[in-house]
Amino acid sequence: MTDHSPITIHWFTIDNVDKLDTPALVVYPDRVQANIDLLKTMIDDVARLRPHVKTYKNREVTQLLLDAGINKFKCATIAEAELLAICKAPDVLLAYQPVGPKLHRFIKLIHAYPQTKFSCLVDNDVAAKEISDAAKRYEISIDVYLDLNVGMNRTGIAPGFEALQLYMDCAVLPGINPVGLHAYDGHIHDIDLEKRTERCDAGFKAVLKLQQDLHGKGYPEPVIVAGGSPTFIIHAKRKQVQCSPGTFVYWDRGYEVGIPEQLFLPAVLVITRVVSLPDATKLCLDVGHKSVSAENELGKRVYFLNAPELIPTGQSEEHLVVEAGKGHHCQIGDVLYGIPHHVCPTVALHERIYTIENNTLTSEWLNSARDRKITI
């Protein structure tokens, strides 16, 4: 970005960027569509896809997925579930165990959107009983998936005897209907695909055994929902497993580098401007913690496509200071195009995302499910 010769038009260049205040999140819909099309070529049956809405959080991408023949979805919040229901998604799994007020909101959701089939997770008897009592009280039946801990160590019950017993307990509780097993292995993200596959297969063995044990006891064979983006192509080879990648629609720098065999296109960028020149070698940009995910170390938050040489040295709520080196030609107002290292929480920081079509700012999509509540 260092010279001011005539601008080279790249895929990401915004011709009318002077109309865009920064920091801003922008999306390239043609690249989103290309990513959806690519995903469908990576699995034998589109019916086995259950993408996670947490990455994009808006109606427009949901509609693109529905138009592509994808009818099953996964989400983590009541707002995300309601967004999907508003779009008339047929099948929505709340990949969370609803307890307390969240359970009551979940029940309201089921009543408010009867055209959508909702299900949720459970990993203990106490929550299972609470869900059962609520379902019985409101005279409904709720499908539940047993949440299995295959190494994430945050929620879930280890696949084995206790999990078998919990599934059987759920089967006799009124108002709930155990239908499957949920195994999220997000802790597995080795760059080397062979190593990633080895770890994924090792963790999945106990899940498969639990499925077989339950079927052997006379239960309908439980559906298995497994994996995220890093293990998607591994689970996609298992003929009966539903796969739930999420990041593929937008992609990001973390997966671009960390999962090189998946050739999805970065489709979302954070746009920022140089707002100050603190000294002869540094730039200050208007992209702080409030506009790009900051859970990673400083060097893994945003990668600038038109200035990859910049080295971040400090970040606060509204600013990012970068080292540009001696003799740089950057000026106040220069525009930078950055790929977020982690796009999912970055999207959650922005109430809207601006669409770029044919290198032109055209419209905006509301990230309505970034809020904790839409109507319920």
Radius of gyration of the chain (CA): 23
Decide: helix, strand or coil at residue 3: coil
What percentage of residues in the chain have a pLDDT greater than 70? 98
pLDDT by residue (tens digit) across 111-146? 999 999 999 999 999 999 999 999 999 999 999 999
For all residues of the chain together, what is the average pLDDT? Answer: 97
DSSP annotation of 58: S
pLDDT of residue 166: 98
Would the CATH topology of 17-26+267-369 be identical to that of 30-252?
A: no
173: Cβ–Cβ under 8 A, 6 or more apart, which residues? 128, 129, 132
* Topology (CATH level 3) of domain 30-252: TIM Barrel (3.20.20)
Residue type, 106: F
Distance set, CA 288 to CA 57, 254, 291, 320, 342 (Å): 21, 18, 6, 6, 14
Stretch 331-343: mean pLDDT: 98
**Would you tell me how many other CB atoms lie within 10 Å of the CB of residue 366?**
15
Asked whether the predicted pLDDT for residue 7 surpasses 80, the reply is no
Residue count of the chain: 376
Asked whether the predicted pLDDT for residue 1 surpasses 60, the reply is no
For residues 116 and 91, the answer to whether their CB atoms sit within 8 Å is yes
Asked whether the predicted pLDDT for residue 88 surpasses 90, the reply is yes
pLDDT of residue 297: 97
Stretch 10-34: mean pLDDT: 98
What percentage of residues in the chain have a pLDDT greater than 90? 98
Map out the domains of the chain as residue ranges. 17-26+267-369, 30-252
pLDDT by residue (tens digit) across 239-271? 999 999 999 999 999 999 999 999 999 999 999
Task: Enter the pTM of the model.
Answer: 0.96
Q: Smallest Cα–Cα separation from 201: which of 242, 153, 151, 258?
A: 151
Stretch 59-83: mean pLDDT: 98
pLDDT by residue (tens digit) across 180-195? 999 999 999 999 999 9
DSSP annotation of 248: G
Q: Could you tell me the pLDDT band of residue 4, with boundaries at 50, 70 and 90?
A: very low
pLDDT by residue (tens digit) across 139-193? 999 999 999 999 999 999 999 999 999 999 999 999 999 999 999 999 999 999 9
Asked whether the predicted pLDDT for residue 5 surpasses 50, the reply is no
Pair type for strands 24-27 and 352-357: parallel
Stretch 323-329: mean pLDDT: 95
Q: Could you tell me the pLDDT band of residue 2, with boundaries at 50, 70 and 90?
A: very low
pLDDT of residue 9: 82
CATH class of 17-26+267-369: mainly beta
pLDDT of residue 52: 98
